[in-house]
Amino acid sequence: MSTPARVLPQDRPAALRVLGATALVGVVATVWLGLFVTPPDQFMGNLVRLLYIHPPMAWVAFLAYGVATLASLLYLWPRTRAEHFDRLAGASAEVGVVFTGLTLVSGSIWGRPTWGAWWVWDPLLTTTALLFVLYLGYLALRRVPGEFHVRARRSAMAALIAFVDVPIVYFSVEWWRSLHQAPTVLNPTTHKTYVHGSMFWTLLLGFVSFTLVYIWLMAHRYRLARLQDLEDVEGLEVALEERRAEGDAG
């Protein structure tokens, strides 16, 4: 296992602070527009206001799992195998799990007044819950002790298997009879857009803002993973030096 790169100036903490501030402003603006500026929906009334954050959260979860899958593929490919791809996959998957949990919670809050229940075994909800469990298992697998490349390889394969559920979640409302409404922005069957005007721009701002939140969180989680790797390597080097000193003294 090679020594992880140290924290260098090109980590650009100032850029991350700007990114975090921009993401925060975007999320606050999305909430403000969704609550106080956009009109109620013709059918859902004020319940539509929750949808300005619910679909963006689901999008971020899909994005995070897509990045984790791509990084895992790059790690498994011998020509591109590198430790930073393993760290990237783990960091992105962790953020994805957080946003999947938020998606399930916000969906339950929306479902209670709409369906009369916090949870129903709807195909979309069930496959999303399965996705949450699959990636929790992936994160648990990453913590199983073992030689680095063995652990990274099996984790990468687990990430590829877990990602199979992502398209199933996305198309579940089309493949099975579902209580959940069809895609809000663009229906893949009719190719019609159902959101217009200020509602569309607020939803678009939500997608952009939460994407920035994902990038900010993932960058920090990746940096923490690098620091952890560095600490582990330096701890091993200290232990070896102590053993050598004991041997010389003996």
Q: What is the pLDDT of residues 130-147, one digit of tens each?
A: 999 999 999 999 999 888
CB within 8 Å of 232: residues ≥ 6 apart: none
Q: Which residue has the tokens 């999008």?
A: 59
Q: What is the pTM of this model?
A: 0.83
Confidence of residue 159 (pLDDT cuts 50, 70, 90): very high
CA distance linking residue 187 with residue 193, whole number of Å: 7
More confident position, 246 or 124: 124
The DSSP 8-state label assigned to residue 178 in this structure reads -
User: What integer best gives the mean pLDDT of the chain?
Assistant: 84
The dihedral of CA 176, 179, 182, 183: what is its sign? Answer: negative
Question: Is 113's pLDDT higher than 60?
Answer: yes
Q: What share of the chain is helix, strand, coil (3-state, %, to 5)?
A: 80, 0, 20
| Helix (H/G/I), strand (E/B), else coil: 5 | coil
The DSSP 8-state label assigned to residue 51 in this structure reads G
Q: Which residues of 59-82 are buried (b: 16+ CB within 10 A; e: fewer)?
A: bbbbbbbebbbbbbbbbbeeeeee
Residue-wise pLDDT for 186-211, tens only, equals 555 545 556 667 888 999 999 999 99
